[in-house]
Structure 1
């Protein structure tokens, strides 16, 4: 059980470090990292969950993985990634408060660009409501949204990876 926790935490911290590095790369290249990292999570989280489970199964658990072990390890990985990156974003946003206003401006521009389509499909009231919600976005909204998305992605991927990598010890048959 100790190896399960240790391996999962290591993969979670490495995944967090990679997301933080990409955050900084986007930030220093002039892009808004809050906007750009949303798609990056779809690649990082599954990779680290899968390889974390695989390493535990193959190196530390005798090529066996039960479903509960996979779910436990995967949960530790994605929760670590989610909470460490959320904490980093919170601290970083305290130093650069313009990130949120830039993020909101980008989202408002996207809404304005698709205004006619939204009004046609869902009505003017829906567009106005969406516009006001986006306009009122705060730092805690962005951080919480990022955390919840990481948790949802992680849970779904962990469920699948736990089933795919699951192996049980075969019963001993008498001859």
Structure 2
């Protein structure tokens, strides 16, 4: 169990660090990282969950993996990535550069305005107005919770698949 926690912590911390580095790269290249970073979750989390579970199986568990071990390892990795990056996001946007949130909201409102006719046509004017007000009222708490929840969901779904794919049991000798 100690090895499981050690591997999970290592991969969770490295994955978090990579997402934070990408956030800072976007930030210092004058992009709004709140807008750009969401796509990286779809790549980084699966990679770190897969290789974390695989390393646990191959290196520390005698090339055997039970489903619960894979699920536990992957879930801890995803929780660490989600928690650490959410905390970083809260601190950075809430304390270091508070202008990121209003910029992000303006970008979202611009995107909403571009698709206004399509939204009104497909779902009605009330739906557009409701969406506009919802986006306009976005808070830092909303952004942090959304980021955390999306990472957890992605992590859990990927972990389920990885735990099944990498699962190996001891072969019983034939009598």
Q: Please state which band the TM-score falls in when normalised by the shorter chain.
A: over 0.9
Q: How does 1:156-175 map to 2 (within 5 A)?
A: 156-174=157-175
The separation in 1 between residues aligned to 2:83 and 2:51, in whole angstroms, is 20
Secondary structure of the residue that 1:62 maps to in structure 2? coil
Deviation at 1:85, TM superposition (A): 0.3
Partner of 2:10: 10
Deviations 1:55-81 (A, max 9, x none): 000000000000000000000000000
Residue of structure 2 equivalent to 1:155: 156
Instruction: Give the aligned partner of residue 117 of structure 2.
Output: 116
Map 1:132-147 → 2, pairs under 5 A: 132-147=133-148
| Separation in structure 2 between the aligned mates of residue 106 and residue 59 of structure 1, nearest angstrom | 46
d(CA) in 2 for partners of 1:155 and 1:60? Answer: 22
Aligned to 1:126: 127
Per the TM alignment, residue 173 of structure 1 is displaced from its structure 2 partner at its CA by 2.0
1:171 positional shift: 1.2
Q: CA deviation at 1:137?
A: 0.1
Alignment of 1:79-118 (within 5 A): 79-93=79-93, 94-118=95-119
Query: How many residue pairs align between the two structures?
Result: 174
- SS of 2:37's partner is helix
- For 2:107 and 2:113, the matched residues in 1 are separated by 10
* Cα-to-partner distance string for 1:106-162 (whole Å, 9 max, x where unaligned): 000000000000000000000000000000000010010000000000000000000
SS at match of 1:171: coil
Deviation at 1:3, TM superposition (A): 0.1
The CA deviation at 1:19 is 0.1
Aligned residue number for residue 62 of structure 1: 62
TM superposition outliers: structure 1 runs of 4+ over 4 Å: none
Q: Are 2:76 and 1:76 aligned?
A: yes
Tell me the TM-score normalized by structure 2: 0.99
Where do 5+ consecutive residues of structure 1 fail to align? none
Structure 2 unaligned regions, length at least 5 = none
